Chains A and B, each alone.
Chain A
């Protein structure tokens, strides 16, 4: 249990990407219009067809613009909307500066994502007193606003979950408290979908059980929850009652599968082009498998057509593998079964499953290729890439054309390393 005088602040930048870009334009580029005061969004590159809303301003919210929707539809809702491109370098900078301010006051800062972090203040109560912690949060919020030029929300509580819930109450530029004695009054009337960890699917299930608010969930019968939602049900009920986050929230479980997908710069209409993209996806997936020293025995391919119709298919391998070529061969087989060779494809992805960590190579009679030689080759290529960069060595087939030789995952410009993961043992962020 938490010590009585341990306070946890959840600090979250308000519409982070947008306000960082806006602050940069106002205070560094001396622009006169502040994007935060007009309907505006940060949108992905429409030419690369990543044209979705990444962040929106408060005035844009009034037009019912949602994060994640296509830019085209937002322009229908609000024709005078300002759309700006993202600047990931700036965001990483802003994120670091913001975390550093927190670290000035607490040696115990856990960064949860690029724009939010928990700061733990242990023993501050005896220094400042309980009422003063709220004042301190206001000062901290204002310091961030004054030095960095953007606003944050701070949620104060004695545990992680409640402080996060408090930070989400109302925005922007606010401080909220949610101590265990306030849970019933402040958190229970909220719709259950607001609860951390409750997504769309869970909300639907809970609705069918007649659970609409967080209070309903807290008071629901435990046996019923367990019967309908299994262990996750128990966990979210615990959350609704004001329990703290499970320690595993801070660790990344071993992956159940490894997959990468990409939206093609132009619709896929030929098998050759599709195979080319599949190969570049397999390169990335294979490299990830080998980096984690695991092997997989299921390969699945999914496609989304130009009309946004999704379909997928999978295939079981005869023996576990981590060889790029073997994954690719199977991905192609699956793809040939999946695609009608007519409908243009917009998005394509390769996913692998049935992960095993200590599988040796099972030789079978039908292995036509000498995969063990390829295994060695792949490991050598990985080592070269680790040492000299991803582009140091590539397949000749990628020399021509516009297909990058390792696709999927984050764009290079977005691989900041800021949100690489949280190490619970030390409760410290690993920032590279």
Chain B
């Protein structure tokens, strides 16, 4: 879903992002920072403070890794749920939790 959004709104979901993440030797993935295009066509880069929890889902046969992370966005600490689609290897912001 191609949606360009302004950060700060609570509801926007499914924003495709570019992600830098590290994978350790056991296969554990940790997101480091990501960037995306805002409504004003600017590239915004956001560093992830902490990955709070990890989970996996297999809904309707689609394997996804879920990450709940905290990050400082517009001088505010926010919780975001990031998702990684294992098959097509795309990252997105699934939703803002706070």
Contact = CB atoms under 8 A, between A and B. Distances in A.
Nearest to B61: A97
Interface string B61-80: 11010000000000000000
Nearest to A26: B59
A27 B57 CA distance: 9
B14 A93 contact: no
A97 B58 contact: yes
B1 A94 contact: no
Nearest to B85: A28
B95 A23 contact: no
B36 interface: no
Contacts of A149: 59-60
B60 A30 contact: no
A149 B14 CA distance: 19
A95 B14 CA distance: 25
A20 B13 CA distance: 20
B59 A148 contact: yes
B94 interface: yes
Interface in B82-98: 94-95
A147 interface: yes
A24 interface: yes
A93 B60 CA distance: 7
Q: How large is the interface on B (under 10, 10 to 19, 20 to 34, 35 or more residues)?
A: 10 to 19
Contacts, number: 43
A24 B62 contact: yes
A337 interface: no
Contacts of A90: 60-62
A93 B57 contact: no
B61 A30 contact: no
Contacts of A147: 58-59
B93 to A, nearest CB: 10
Nearest to B14: A29
A104 to B, nearest CB: 12
A148 B94 CA distance: 18
B44 to A, nearest CB: 21
A239 interface: no
Nearest to B81: A30
A115 to B, nearest CB: 12
A24 B58 CA distance: 10
Contacts of A97: 58, 60-61
B95 A30 contact: yes
A93 B1 contact: no
Q: Which of B59, B64, B95 has the most CB of A within 10 A?
A: B59
Contact of A24 (B1, B13, B60): B60
B64 A28 contact: yes
Contacts of B61: 90, 93-98, 148
Contacts of B13: 29-30
Contacts of A27: 57, 59-60
Closest 8 CB pairs of A and B: A97-B61, A93-B61, A27-B59, A149-B59, A94-B60, A30-B13, A94-B61, A23-B60
Given A97-B60, A147-B59, 15 more contacts: A23-B59, A24-B60, A27-B57, A27-B59, A28-B59, A28-B62, A28-B64, A90-B62, A93-B60, A93-B61, A94-B60, A97-B58, A148-B60, A149-B59, A150-B60
25 contacts: A23-B59, A23-B60, A27-B57, A27-B59, A27-B60, A28-B60, A29-B1, A29-B14, A30-B94, A30-B95, A90-B61, A90-B62, A93-B60, A93-B62, A94-B60, A94-B61, A96-B61, A97-B60, A98-B61, A147-B58, A147-B59, A148-B59, A148-B60, A149-B60, A150-B60
Interface of A: 20, 23-24, 27-30, 90, 93-98, 147-150
